[in-house]
Amino acid sequence: MAKKRNRSQPQPQTNPVDDALARFRPLLDDAGYQAMLDELQRPLHTSIRANPLKVDPERAIQHWRARYGWQVEPVPYCPTGWWVTESATQPSQTLEHRLGEFYIQDAASMLPVELFDFDGLERPLILDMAASPGGKTTHLAARSGDRGLILANDSSQGRIPALRIVLEQWGAVNSAVSRFPGEQFGAWYPDVFDRVLLDAPCSMQGLRSTEAHPMRAITEKEQSALAQRQTRLLESALQAVKIGGQVVYSTCTLAVEEDEAVLDALMRQHPGCFEIANLSSRLPAPAPALSEASGQTFDPAVRGAARLWPHTFGTSGFFAALLTKLRPLPGETAEPPQRPFERSGLEPLKKQEAYDLTLLLKQQYGFDLEPVLLEQDLALYRRGKSVLAVPDLFLTTFRGLPVQSLGLEVGEELPNTFSPAHDWVARYAARFNANRLRLPQELIPAWLRGEDARGFETQNFAKGLVVIVEDEDGRFLGRGKLVQDRLRNLLPRKALVG
C-alpha cells in the first residue's frame, strides 16, 4: 500500500532545470550532453532583431555599435538578428529600442518566421494564431514588408494589451488583433490563409530560464494536456491554411511530447494532407528532430523539423517545423462570429476629407500620405478624433470579424489642425521632412527622460505646432509642441529612457 505523505515533512527542493536535464539525458549521446552542459555554463547574451520597416538593419547596427559601445555577432539564420555580446549601454536602455527600431528577442525565437517563404506573395494573408506578446508578429510584419494582412490572435484577454502595444511600437500597419481560441480558425476559415504561424503555448522546458521563458517544474498531467491542446491548434492551423500554403509550428520547449510527438500525431491523423520540410539544408548546422524517443518511433518526415538544443546555436532550447499543406483536411466548418462593421465605431473618411488631410500633411510636414496608402493598400477611417490607416485586406476578407484593434493611428483631428500620432511618425520618421526641430545636444538626456526643453531659439516654428524633434545626426527623438518659451515633450511614457 502506498505510504501516506506526511504534510509537515519538508519536500525535497528540486530545480526545474536539473529535472529537465535528467529527462533529456537519454535523448543525447555523451558528447552532445556534455556540450549542452558546457553551453549552459555560458551566459545567454541579449539578442536583438532590427526593424526593416524603420531602419536599414545593416547600417543601423553599425550606428548602434558606435553609439552604445556594442560588440555584436550575427544570428546565423536571421539576417536582421544580432547577439549583443558586450555593451556600454544595454539594448533595453536605448531610445531606438523604445521607438521600435529593434526588438529584443531570444535568438531561438528568430527561427520560426525565417522558415517561411514570402517570395511571390504580394499581399500575404497571415494568421499568427497564438501571438502575444507579439515578438514573432513583428518579425512577420518585417518579413512580409507589412503588406497584406496579419491577423494576430491570442485567446487570453490579459495578454491582448501587450500585443497591441508591441505592434504599435513596431509600426505594423497591416495588422489586426483578435481574441479567439485558435482551435476555431480551421472551422471558421478553411483554406484561407497563405501562412499560419503557430507558436504554441507550451511547458517552456527550454533549459534557459529567461524573463520571457521562465522555467518551472511541470507535471505529466500538465504536459499531456498541453500536447492535446497543441495537436488541436496545429490541426486548426493546417485547416486554415490554403493548399500549397505554409504553417510553422514552434515551441520553446524541448519536451518531445510537445514537439516531435505532436507532428507525428497529426501525420497519423491526416496522412497525405501535409508534408514536413527537411530543414537541415536551410540551417547553418544540422539540428534534426528526433526519430524516436521513449520507445516511440516517429514518422520519418518528423526528423526534418529543427530541434535546437542550447548548444546547437547557443540559444535557449527550441523546436520548429515547416509544414506545407497538400490537401484539405476533413473537418467541420462553422460560421465565424460576425458583427456589423459599423459597430466597430470606424467610419471611412470621405474623399474630400482624405484629400484635405493628405494636403495638410504634405504642406505642414512634407509627408506624402498617398503613396503610403497605395503601396500598402490602406484606407483611412475615423474613430472619434482619431484617424486610422486600416488594411484593405481586412475590409475585404474579415470585415465582420470582431477585433480588438485594427491598423495604426495616423493622428488626431484637432480644431484647425491635425496632430500626427507618435507611432505613425516613428514608423515614417524619415519621410517627415519639414517642421523638424534640431534639439541641442546638451538638452537631449533630459528630453529622453521626458522633460520639456526650455531656453533655446524656436523662432522658425509656429507656436502650438507639433514638430518632429531630431538630434544633429537627424535621429528622430519623438514629437514636441511649441508653447510659450519651451518645447513640450510629447514622447509617450513607453518611449522614455532612464
Ligand X SMILES: C[S@@+](CC[C@H](N)C(=O)[O-])C[C@H]1O[C@@H](n2cnc3c(N)ncnc32)[C@H](O)[C@@H]1O
Q: End-to-end CA distance of the chain: give it in Å, rounded.
A: 61
Cis amide prior to 10 (ω within 30 degrees): no
Among 235, 257, 255, smallest CA distance to 247 is for 235
Least distance CB 308 / ligand X (angstroms): 15
Q: Looking at 132-140, 272-280, 427-435, 451-459, which segment touches ligand X (CB under 6 A)?
A: 132-140
Strand partners, 208: none
Q: Is 159 in the site for ligand X (CB under 6 A)?
A: yes
Are the beta carbons of 163 and 170 closer than 8 angstroms? no
Please identify which residue in 79, 145, 181, 331 interacts with ligand X, judged by CB under 6 A: 181
Closest to ligand X by CB, 183 or 275: 183
Are the beta carbons of 274 and 238 closer than 8 angstroms? yes
Grid coordinates belonging to 211 = 524573463
Please identify which residue in 39, 146, 154, 409 interacts with ligand X, judged by CB under 6 A: 154
Q: Is 130 in the site for ligand X (CB under 6 A)?
A: yes
Q: Is 106 in the site for ligand X (CB under 6 A)?
A: no
Q: Looking at 4-12, 48-56, 70-78, 178-186, which segment touches ligand X (CB under 6 A)?
A: 178-186
Who's near 430: CB < 8 A, 6+ residues apart?
none
Closest to ligand X by CB, 130 or 401: 130
Please identify which residue in 49, 136, 382, 422 interacts with ligand X, judged by CB under 6 A: 136
Closest to ligand X by CB, 230 or 489: 230
Q: Looking at 20-28, 133-141, 254-262, 472-480, which segment touches ligand X (CB under 6 A)?
A: 133-141
Please identify which residue in 71, 90, 92, 156 interacts with ligand X, judged by CB under 6 A: 156
Q: Looking at 26-34, 124-132, 296-304, 463-471, which segment touches ligand X (CB under 6 A)?
A: 124-132
Least distance CB 310 / ligand X (angstroms): 18
Least distance CB 24 / ligand X (angstroms): 20
Closest to ligand X by CB, 202 or 487: 202
* Cα–Cα distance for residue pair 330/346, rounded to 1 Å: 37
Grid coordinates belonging to 75 = 544570428
Q: Looking at 42-50, 56-64, 129-137, 253-261, which segment touches ligand X (CB under 6 A)?
A: 129-137
364: phi > 0 → left, psi -120 to 50 → alpha, else beta; which?
A: alpha
**For the CA atoms of the chain, what is the radius of gyration?**
25
Q: Spell out the alpha helix ranges (H) of 342-478.
A: 351-365, 369-375, 392-397, 422-427, 444-448
Question: Pick the catalytic residue: 78, 202, 252, 273?
Answer: 252
Are the beta carbons of 217 and 364 closer than 8 angstroms? no
Q: Does residue 451 sit in helix, strand or coil?
A: coil
Least distance CB 472 / ligand X (angstroms): 36
* Cα–Cα distance for residue pair 47/75, rounded to 1 Å: 8
Are the beta carbons of 238 and 210 closer than 8 angstroms? no
202 is annotated as an active-site residue:
no
Q: Looking at 177-185, 294-302, 349-357, 405-413, which segment touches ligand X (CB under 6 A)?
A: 177-185
Least distance CB 477 / ligand X (angstroms): 28
Are the beta carbons of 111 and 78 closer than 8 angstroms? yes
Closest to ligand X by CB, 51 or 87: 51
Closest to ligand X by CB, 28 or 187: 187
Least distance CB 182 / ligand X (angstroms): 3
Q: Does residue 477 sit in helix, strand or coil?
A: strand
Query: How far, rounded to the nearest angstrom, does the alpha carbon of residue 319 sit from its chain's CA centroid?
Result: 17
Amino acid at position 393, single letter: L
* Cα–Cα distance for residue pair 340/400, rounded to 1 Å: 6
Closest to ligand X by CB, 109 or 316: 109
Strand partners, 103: 49
Least distance CB 51 / ligand X (angstroms): 15
Please identify which residue in 19, 73, 183, 392 interacts with ligand X, judged by CB under 6 A: 183
Q: Does residue 46 sit in helix, strand or coil?
A: strand
* Cα–Cα distance for residue pair 126/237, rounded to 1 Å: 11
Closest to ligand X by CB, 306 or 491: 306
Residues 185-214: x where in contact with ligand X by CB under 6 A, - otherwise, as a string: --------------x-x-------------
Q: Looking at 8-16, 43-51, 179-187, 404-412, which segment touches ligand X (CB under 6 A)?
A: 179-187
Least distance CB 212 / ligand X (angstroms): 8
Closest to ligand X by CB, 182 or 317: 182
Are the beta carbons of 315 and 233 closer than 8 angstroms? no
Neighbours of 462 (CB within 10 A): 11
Which position has the grid cell 552532445? 32
Q: Is 131 in the site for ligand X (CB under 6 A)?
A: yes
Q: Is 164 in the site for ligand X (CB under 6 A)?
A: no
Least distance CB 153 / ligand X (angstroms): 6
Contacts with ligand X by CB under 6 A lie at 109, 129-136, 154-156, 159, 181-183, 199, 201
- Residues annotated as catalytic are 252
